């Protein structure tokens, strides 16, 4: 579904897992900082709303969206987080830079999910203009940071459940 048909902060009747005890990394790109700081606020407020302890949120900044992959890898490698959320905003410009950054980060994050067998959640806005980004970072279409936070909780809960069931069955 196109994100202009869905409010990114509306989770309908979905059961959102309790985040108590979960440890979550958040990597924030500093390009388009006005947007990414709003994504970050939404994300962290939502994690706390679902009982993730403030001390269990590890936040780091990286220069731009292209660096999100390595920032996430550092958290996976050097900390004991259960999931990482990457937050960035790439806005289409006059050159093909947009395509290279978007392709690089989507492929990088996909590979990290597989390499570490842990959720790395893609909270990156890829928009045609600044207004579309504002609409999706706390504006009329909600906040992608909220959505990324809830996705992290759901994926950690899924992993915990499957690991537990498997452990109990052997």
Between the two ends of the chain, the Cα-to-Cα distance in Å is 40
Q: Which residue has the tokens 């289409």?
A: 92
Site string for ligand DLZ, 93-122 (x = CB under 6 A): x---x---x---------------------
DSSP state of 92: -
Q: Is 32 in the site for ligand DLZ (CB under 6 A)?
A: yes
Q: Select the span of 60-68, 74-82, 111-119, 147-155 touching ligand DLZ (CB under 6 A).
A: 60-68
Contact 81, 116 (CB under 8 A): no
Nearest-approach distance from CB 158 to ligand DLZ, in angstroms: 29
Q: Which residues are catalytic?
A: 97
**Rounded Cα gap, residues 3 and 143, in angstroms:** 11
Query: Could you give the angle at which helices 33-49 and 144-169 cross, rounded to 10 degrees?
Result: 40
Residue nearest to ligand DLZ (CB): 64
- Positive or negative, the CA dihedral 86, 90, 96, 97 is negative
**CB closer to ligand DLZ, 127 vs 143:** 127
Nearest-approach distance from CB 55 to ligand DLZ, in angstroms: 28
- Give the number of other CB atoms < 10 A from CB of residue 156: 23
**CB closer to ligand DLZ, 46 vs 127:** 127
Binding footprint of ligand DLZ on the chain (CB under 6 A): 29, 31-32, 63-67, 88-91, 93, 97, 101
């Amino acid at each position: 579904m196109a994100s202009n048909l869905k409010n990114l902060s509306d989770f309908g009747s979905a059961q959102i897992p309790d985040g108590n005890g979960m440890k979550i990394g958040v990597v924030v790109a500093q390009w388009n900082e006005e947007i990414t700081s709003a994504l970050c606020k939404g994300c962290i407020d939502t994690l706390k709303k679902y009982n993730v302890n403030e001390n269990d949120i590890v936040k780091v900044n990286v220069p731009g969206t292209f660096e999100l992959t390595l920032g996430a890898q550092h958290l996976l490698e050097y900390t004991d987080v259960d999931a990482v959320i990457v937050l960035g905003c790439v806005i289409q410009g006059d050159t093909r830079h947009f395509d290279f950054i978007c392709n690089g980060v989507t492929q990088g994050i996909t590979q990290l999910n597989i390499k570490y067998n842990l959720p790395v959640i893609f909270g990156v806005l890829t928009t045609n203009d600044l207004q579309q980004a504002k609409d999706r970072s706390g504006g009329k279409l909600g906040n992608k940071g909220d959505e990324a936070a809830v996705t992290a909780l759901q994926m950690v809960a899924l992993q915990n459940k499957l690991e537990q069931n498997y452990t109990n069955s052997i």
